[in-house]
Amino acid sequence: MGNKSGIRQFGKLFGAHFKMTFREKQVWFWSIFYPVLLLVIFLLIFGRTGSDDFSARIAVVEGASTPAAAGVKEALGYVDVLEQTEEKPANLDEARQWLIDKEVDAVVALPEAGGEIKLLLNKEKQNSVTAQAVSGILNQLVVQSSLAAAGVEPQLTIATEYVSAGSDKLSYTDFLMTGMIALAISQSGLFGMMGMVEMRRNGLLKRLFLAPVDLRMFGLSSMAVRFLLSLIQVALLTLIGVLFFGAHLNVDPLGFALVFLVGTLSFAGMGFLIAAVSKSMDSYMGIANLASFLMMFLSGIFFDLGSLPEYIRPISHVLPLTYFADGLRDAMVYGFGIGSGNFWLNLGIMAVWGLTAFLIGSRLYKWNKA
């Protein structure tokens, strides 16, 4: 009878938590719509750009007829990713104006005299991928053409090969999709405990202590709803990534289950800590938004941590979302599981964050305060 009674109580509490959670518009926005919106926007902008799709439109200004210059001019015609304008600029000034008007991405001016080739790029795009790629290609062509003009045979060549820890088909889409899943679950945990603030303020928790309710069932049913919401996020974002943007999966089921379980519990613990130190809904939202914003851009969700300045990386290496995103990528894309040392490192740091936050929150939360 005791077990049946406990199951019935769990079912009723689960239904109550389910209604309280999913009737809130903020839950639908922050947990469902917002992550989907971010995923789609970033994939539309960056998801279909890769090494095979890169191209740059260039204008070539004729110069003096020297063997080296002729070699560079001929070599430029063989580079598929550099699309030369059919119309030749009359002079360097006209080509410069084309660059200013964004009609071309770069201008290559062959030398009138001497050996200097000018490469003109937009100043506001000097750090862009296009500028770096065109500069690198031109430097390589100049070296090769100079050697050929001097009759020197290169002794060494470079063969570039790109290697991934996972499938050869991996792309930025896979990186972003798993990062957005981690971000969505983390936000669900950070923002999902705001009801604790309202229940304490209204005195509902105090009445729960006086009611014949098993508080363990109360907490268990709340976490069950949290897991259900997280599963919806994983399924929805994965379907969008795979069906509409061609993301690739190489899932380790056990590894994913462990990362999902620990990650969901850890961020729920952090949300509980925020609820413990917040005296109002406004303060809760302020702290949760600050934590979410900080981790969103410093945890390798949108871009690899290697692209961050060195003085910021130490911060990234202590944020829990960094290890949650890495853990999900290992389990969903790279196929790494419990046999990987890095997997247990990610799991351990997340567990420490979640347990520490929960213990501190338990000490600070005023359970009986009306």
What CATH number is associated with residue 104?
Answer: 3.40.1710.10
Greater confidence, 6 or 252?
A: 252
* E strand or H helix at 66: none
Question: Does position 258 have pLDDT exceeding 90, yes or no?
Answer: yes
Q: Do residue 215 and residue 322 come from a single domain?
A: yes
Q: Do residue 228 and residue 358 come from a single domain?
A: yes
Question: Does position 2 have pLDDT exceeding 60, yes or no?
Answer: no
Query: CB–CB of 94/103 below 8 Å?
Result: no
Greater confidence, 360 or 222?
A: 360
pLDDT at 53: 56
Q: Do residue 86 and residue 18 come from a single domain?
A: no
* Among the ranges given (105-114, 274-283, 332-341), the one the predictor scored with the smallest mean pLDDT: 105-114
pLDDT at 338: 85
Q: Is 345 helix (H, G, I), strand (E, B) or coil?
A: helix
Q: Do residue 60 and residue 43 come from a single domain?
A: no
Percent of the chain whose predicted confidence (pLDDT) is above 70: 78
Within 10 angstroms of residue 275's Cβ, the number of other Cβ atoms is: 23
Q: Do residue 230 and residue 272 come from a single domain?
A: yes
Give first-to-last CA distance, the chain, whole Å. Answer: 34
Rounded distance between C-alpha atoms, residue 292 and residue 58, angstroms? 42
Q: Do residue 284 and residue 199 come from a single domain?
A: yes
Residue 162 lies in a domain: no
Q: Do residue 207 and residue 350 come from a single domain?
A: yes
pLDDT at 329: 92
Residue 97 lies in a domain: yes
Q: Do residue 113 and residue 70 come from a single domain?
A: yes
Rounded distance between C-alpha atoms, residue 184 and residue 267, angstroms? 11
DSSP 86-138: SSPPSSHHHHHHHHHTTS-SEEEE--SSTTPPEEEE-GGGTTSHHHHHHHHHH
pLDDT at 263: 96
pLDDT at 356: 96
- Alpha-carbon torsion 13, 19, 21, 22, what sign? positive
Structure tokens at 45: 């902008």
Residue 284 lies in a domain: yes
How many domains would you assign to the chain? 2
Residue 344 lies in a domain: yes
Question: Does position 154 have pLDDT exceeding 60, yes or no?
Answer: no
Question: What is the mean pLDDT of the segment spanning 353-357?
Answer: 96
Residue 26 lies in a domain: yes
Measured in whole angstroms, the distance separating CA 341 from the mean position of its chain's CA atoms is 23
Rounded distance between C-alpha atoms, residue 322 and residue 39, angstroms? 17
pLDDT at 44: 81
- Alpha-carbon torsion 11, 234, 332, 314, what sign? negative
Q: What value does the mean pLDDT of the chain take?
A: 80
pLDDT at 149: 61
Q: What domain range includes position 117?
A: 56-149
Query: CB–CB of 187/264 below 8 Å?
Result: no
pLDDT at 113: 60
Residue 233 lies in a domain: yes
pLDDT at 316: 93
Q: Do residue 132 and residue 66 come from a single domain?
A: yes
Q: Is 61 helix (H, G, I), strand (E, B) or coil?
A: strand
Q: Do residue 39 and residue 61 come from a single domain?
A: no
pLDDT at 308: 79
- Select the highest-mean-pLDDT range: 120-129, 177-186, 273-282: 177-186
Structure tokens at 348: 């351990």
pLDDT at 51: 45
Question: Does position 215 have pLDDT exceeding 70, yes or no?
Answer: no
pLDDT tier at 350, thresholds 50, 70, 90: very high
pLDDT at 128: 64
- pTM equals 0.70
Over residues 218-250, the pLDDT tens digits come to: 778 878 888 998 999 999 999 999 998 888 888
pLDDT at 253: 93
pLDDT tier at 261, thresholds 50, 70, 90: very high
Q: Do residue 350 and residue 235 come from a single domain?
A: yes
Over residues 300-339, the pLDDT tens digits come to: 898 888 777 888 889 999 999 999 999 999 999 888 888 8
Question: Does position 348 have pLDDT exceeding 70, yes or no?
Answer: yes
Question: What is the mean pLDDT of the segment spanning 72-77?
Answer: 75
Question: Does position 47 have pLDDT exceeding 80, yes or no?
Answer: no
Q: Do residue 177 and residue 298 come from a single domain?
A: yes
